Chain A
């Protein structure tokens, strides 16, 4: 097993969700600093806006190299209290955020990274509106477990959220009153994603993946289960360009990669990379032949999944790309002993930049080691 050390910054908050904010120009070619938002839970329910320097630009040499322990990785710009634990935060644009809360509410926040916040006394992070989307039949609020944005690229995309009440709620980001929700599962929906703009996929505690057509939100289009095993699914993510490929994380610490081109006979492949619940998976935005994941076992992993003899190997044979072999690169830090709850790989920079948040109250960061050694499973 090969492992890489992460840089750690203690933040004294249980970091439960985070995301990079898109740069204003769409790409970060000219931005010397990048912004991201973290959400925390437990004692401090907050949303915090951070800034860190863009690794594409070399640091001025006068600055001492960041020490793995003490060097601050990022600095706080602004923070604001959040109603409930932040379960998921997603940047809709460089100035709008959506959050899902443990009190079952979806909130839209305005972010102002430009003005510095002093002007006119407006906050840098400001709640625009929020709405209760998830509730149990007895009136108690249900945790909104996740949130996903329709990949249309338009500013007014639709947001879909999942909850412990077994419902999926849809709403327009600009108008919370458009909220409508549909009961689709009898257990807990653990995560949600949009493989295409017209399709929603969810994972359940009951060990199912369910696909829905957005136009008929009440009817399940397809259900996939892994008949050989009984585990709950904790998270799901769709391949950025091949919507039939879905990555899911299980409660047993495995990553399942599904190919659902034939909905009647889906195939899946299992990668045993973690020792406990996988809380989040995503295809690496820089290289979709890799899956990044984080887990309750306090580690993160980058899994190289592309099979030998596939397109990747062909490119290697032609000398276009280096040959890829399957393997896993585990990332952990001895200063982080508890669950890594969330991560986000920055898609806007050339140098890879991975941040994660943990129950130990740490912000973890890995800069520019995308081509580390991959070990066997």
Chain B
């Protein structure tokens, strides 16, 4: 039980993500809520299936029929208020589009990679690393763009902070799981970590450095600057040893420093210049040997200064410079206590400890190193970002992912995707009850799908989710995308085709067909119905065309039929209308024999709807009675058979087929006369 609670808690959204919105003016008078509800009123709402929109309206608690007396109706109660919440700020659109493109490219890369070779080779990691840096570039660019916004407000500041946090997390993730795994002799995490630290939490600040070094001061001026020593200590903590060496070298010549301090400043400067740096060409063993020698030197300096400080000499008492130099030497030799005392952030401590005591530490050492450092802090003092970073350093991915989602849905979705691709997701699968990648991608899509510009991006993410749940959610969403133009319809249908969403495709076509029908675009309607082989709807549209012809007596459906036939549609009713038009054309151009043939073929092939047969038989009368012999005896028998089956069905089903007795008798007479003529002629 305890275990389960632990699991579910991770998905609880932090309170600051919820927001209260007030409608102004409200739907009921301010301060008169009680009075208002007494009058059988309440509020009703409905949530938009895609958008983060809400329809709000005043409703009755009881239906009107159940009320004894008539209730007065107020105009303002009949309004429906649509409340929309912008889930995606406009400022983010370029970022979302950029990262969507990278996401698509990454999926393609991975699927091609897995097709080429079954095992994920080192080359795969390098490619993924490249994609990861593209994501980071996008985040940094977004920070830059936001910082350039002149009209800053609270929201922009929050966004900047979010993006900086996202970058810090992503960068560290990249270091631990991608950069240090890439091929090369040196796989030490330390140089990467220091780079990460100085990129994401820059210290000492540029302003501070500029102030200290302003106007290229002489040694004495430099020694007099405020905050010089804290600045130098920060340099040491952050591993900026060459700057430190330059400053100390300059200081050593200052006359303001005590002779001892000046001497040791020179010594530390020289030592920090000699600090060994690892490279890809060197083996860990040989680097360690060099390192040990250097560390020994620094240790000696520290010990010497210490003994000098402890020697009770008057000259060193209160010598701030010498004490600071001692601290710097202690930092350089990797004394954890001094480092902790001089650092501002836990990240500083971790960085300095690793840099000066375990310069060849690999990523697998991070959890134990981090735990030592983090122990010194109270967990309450940690922000979401800190907690996410610590979880990441501890390689505690199941803890890390939910923390990411608290920072931003974008981050959790893309990190989860990346984790899947480098095959480290299994550890999370054991803890989560749903597929984590799918879960976070779906969460991200929810915000995109209702957006007018991002619906396609949202669908793409769902499609590339590649799970059954993703596809089924996608199908539901695809059916509900607002289609406001023919081109958008094409785009949505293409997505359906791409991801084989047959149900959605069918429903969209039917919906569009009905919409076109309502708008009087019968050809387009038939086109859509034909796409889903909706034969009965096509018949209904064709019947409407036929009835329009019967009503007006004008054959005007030609263009509709032509447009439909050009798409290669084969449907009885459409064929019928088309053949019937051919018949008219032949008749008008006095090609009676041809016209008769067409008419007969319509009747014989039974493509005509039953209610049209009578009209066709009536149409044959002028041909039967004409000057030229159109129908042979066999043809006439065929016509008579049609008439007979028509009357038979009419009497059996008692449905009027629109033929009246007088017309039928004229038809019968015409047939028998034609039959006689045919016999004579033959």
Contact = CB atoms under 8 A, between A and B. Distances in A.
A361 interface: yes
B568 to A, nearest CB: 4
Contact of A223 (B523, B560, B561, B562): B562
Given A102-B484, A208-B566, A225-B566, A337 B523 contact: no
A136 B457 contact: no
B559 A296 contact: no
Contacts of B568: 207, 230
Given A186-B560, A206-B523, A360-B97, A296 B494 contact: yes
A279 to B, nearest CB: 8
Given A85-B485, A208-B563, A208-B566, A186 B97 contact: no
Interface stretch (A138-146, A309-317, A322-330): A138-146
A237 interface: no
Nearest to A362: B97
Given A205-B486, A335-B98, A338-B456, A12 B521 contact: no
A42 B453 contact: yes
Contacts of B485: 85, 87, 102, 143, 145, 164
Contact of A337 (B460, B527, B560): B460
A334 B101 contact: yes
A164 B494 CA distance: 19
Given A14-B453, A296-B494, A362-B97, A206 B564 contact: yes
B524 A188 contact: yes
B494 A187 contact: no
Given A102-B485, A204-B563, A185 B523 contact: yes
B141 interface: yes
A107 interface: no
Nearest to A85: B485
B486 A164 contact: yes
Nearest to A220: B559
Contact of A186 (B98, B453, B563): B563
A161 to B, nearest CB: 14
A138 B514 CA distance: 13
Contact of A43 (B94, B451, B457, B460): B451
B383 interface: no
A339 interface: yes
Contact of B524 (A102, A205, A279): A205
A338 to B, nearest CB: 6
Interface residues of B, number: 43
A343 to B, nearest CB: 15
A320 B452 CA distance: 52
B98 A10 contact: yes
Contacts of A186: 521-524, 559-564
A70 B94 CA distance: 12
A136 B524 contact: no
B563 A187 contact: yes
A4 B451 CA distance: 32
Interface in B486-536: 486-487, 490-491, 494, 518-524, 527
A2 B138 CA distance: 27
A339 B491 contact: yes
Contacts of B484: 102, 143
Contacts of A69: 137, 141
B473 interface: no
A187 B527 contact: yes
B567 interface: yes
A190 B527 CA distance: 15
Nearest to B520: A137
B486 A143 contact: yes
A336 B484 CA distance: 24
Nearest to A208: B566
A136 B453 contact: no
Interface in B85-136: 90-91, 93-94, 97-98, 100-102, 104-105
Contacts of A166: 521, 523-524
Contacts of A12: 90-91, 93-94
A338 B457 contact: yes
Interface string B159-178: 00000000000000000000
Interface in A21-52: 42-44
A334 to B, nearest CB: 5
B100 A360 contact: yes
Contacts of A185: 523, 559, 563
B486 A337 contact: no
Contacts of B100: 337-338, 360
A187 B521 CA distance: 7
A166 B452 CA distance: 26
A282 B104 CA distance: 29
A260 interface: no
B486 A190 contact: yes
A7 interface: no
Nearest to B457: A338
Interface in A240-290: 251, 276-277, 279
Contact of A230 (B524, B563, B567): B567
Nearest to B485: A143
A165 interface: yes
A225 B527 CA distance: 16
Contacts of A11: 94
A372 to B, nearest CB: 22
Max count, chain A CB within 10 A of own CB: residue among B97, B137, B451, B562: B97
A12 B88 CA distance: 12
Interface in B24-73: none
Contact of B490 (A14, A277, A335): A277
Nearest to A45: B452
A184 interface: yes
A206 B563 contact: yes
A13 to B, nearest CB: 8
Interface of B: 90-91, 93-94, 97-98, 100-102, 104-105, 137, 141, 451-453, 456-457, 460, 484-487, 490-491, 494, 518-524, 527, 559-564, 566-568
10 contacts: A12-B90, A164-B524, A165-B519, A186-B559, A187-B527, A204-B566, A277-B491, A335-B98, A360-B97, A361-B453
Interface of A: 10-14, 42-44, 69-70, 85, 87, 102, 136-138, 140, 142-143, 145, 164-166, 184-188, 190, 204-208, 223, 225, 230, 232, 234, 251, 276-277, 279, 296, 334-339, 359-362
User: When A and B form their complex, which 6 residue pairs have the shortest distance between CB atoms, in order from nearest?
Assistant: A186-B523, A137-B520, A10-B94, A136-B519, A206-B563, A186-B560
Given A164-B521, A186-B521, 14 more contacts: A11-B94, A185-B559, A186-B561, A186-B563, A204-B563, A207-B567, A223-B562, A225-B566, A234-B490, A334-B102, A334-B105, A337-B97, A339-B491, A362-B97
